[in-house]
Structure 1
Amino acid sequence: MATVIAATLGLAGAIAQNWINIGPEASVVSPTVTVTVTQTLAAEASPDPSRMVPLESSIPSVSPSSTSAPDPAVFWQGSVVVGYSRKDLDSSPPAMAGDNDGDLSIISGDIYASDDATIAFLLGRKIKPGYGECYELSMASGLEQVSDATPGWYCIRTSEGRVVALNIRSLAGGTFSGDVTIWDHTGVFN
């Protein structure tokens, strides 16, 4: 447990050092880092809790000490169906990707983030996460794979750096369908 906490704190410091206030007068802001560590014990073995982000997250909260920039504009919002072939979430609308492109696919019930994309499952989450929360979760807890995917909220960072909130509504026959909000914010935090 101590190793995981140290890695999380190190990443929080890296995020805090690179937090940028975007605007006409771009400047580096002095962040305040708050860390809450919560250990959650699961009664069931499936899905694997070590691959998910619990509601009471152990993710560091990074808050700029001055007024932060507003959320970026929405790049695309709507419904998606994802299967074995990779889906490129950096396309508007998201489209099937080529062999070496794409951000997301599902194989045998596991969701895979590919091409430098990351994904984090928000265990028990009932409401849509915002841009800031999805950014933090996809950076600090983002994985390349979520085993035994279930319906619910996920935060994704695409291969081009966009932040995505995904609500999987159903999984069937090697595909899942859901609703996404993709924010148009690329390149700043790469």
Structure 2
Amino acid sequence: MELTPQTNEGVKVEPKNRRSFLLALFGLSGAGVSALLAVPLVRFVTYPLRRRAAANTWSEVGPVQDFVAITAPVAKTIMLERRDAWQTTSSQTAVYVLPSRAGQFRILSPICPHLGCSVRWVDDQNKFICPCHAGLFTADGERIAGPPPRSMDSLEAKVEDGVLKVRYQYFRQLVSSKETMA
């Protein structure tokens, strides 16, 4: 007895053979592996689009009781941590803590808004002085004289668990309004 392929309305139908099954299996396996490899690649390529704006972290300035009774600006060194993708860098910078008004602490950036020089507090003159171009500021950081286009830049401060914290930011120089740099 001889087997003949079945026909459907005159069209000859060939039986599935092992070769076509293996080709389909390898094709599906290849597509699966490609999809698995594509997911991390797509995530890597689109990371800048999906990344949230990096929130500046809060840096500790010191215990609140250290600043309650101050009568003049006090320079404090803080640690800054910056995370750039997978790399974290730490650096130190200074800030000026001003005497509190109505329980609110004020913190100033020590960077001159003119050309970025370091502003220093001079106790006997009761003012901030930028030594580079003779910029003068009041004890509150208000511009008095010199080439700086605006007053000293204030930084956001908060008290958390008895510790004074600051959100340190860098600002553009040579502009009359306070603009943060990205």
TM-score (ref. length: structure 1): 0.22
TM-score normalised by length of structure 2 = 0.23
CA radius of gyration, larger in: 2
